[in-house]
Amino acid sequence: MAVKIGAESVSSVGRIIRFHRKIAGLSRIELADIAGVGKTVVYDIEKGKETVRLDTLLKLLGALNVTVSLAGPMMERYEAGDDAES
């Protein structure tokens, strides 16, 4: 099942990470260690911090086996290999 999150819903990402971390039985420090990120990063994201590096966020989501999908009106063209300069 997919959850749609708009660009304005940064706090939703934190809630999703917290939910998956709790279900996995991990502490914030354990998740940070598994993901290879700083121990305060998990706390910051779960509390809705808006300035998080994308690579850090992807490491955390990957450690929790959560995938990210991008959607938009031009994604079909992108996936078909359409050159944006044409």
DSSP class per residue in 4-67: ---TT-HHHHHHHHHHHHHHTT--HHHHHHHHT--HHHHHHHHTT-S---HHHHHHHHHHTT--
86, pLDDT greater than 60: no
Q: What is the pLDDT of residues 23-76, one digit of tens each?
A: 999 999 999 999 999 999 999 999 988 888 889 999 999 999 999 888 788 888
Gap between the Cα atoms of 63 and 56, Å rounded: 11
Query: 81 versus 31: which is more confidently predicted?
Result: 31
Q: Tell me which residue range forms the domain holding 27.
A: 10-79
- Domain-located, residue 75: yes
Instruction: Enter the pTM of the model.
Output: 0.79
- For residue 28, the model assigns a pLDDT of 97
* Total domains, the chain: 1
- Domain-located, residue 31: yes
Report the range of poorest mean pLDDT among 10-14, 15-19, 62-66, 80-84: 80-84
Structure tokens at 19: 């939910």
- Domain-located, residue 42: yes
- Domain-located, residue 57: yes
CATH of the domain at 75: 1.10.260.40
Structure tokens at 49: 């911090």
Structure tokens at 37: 């990120």
- Domain-located, residue 14: yes
- For residue 51, the model assigns a pLDDT of 86
- Domain-located, residue 70: yes
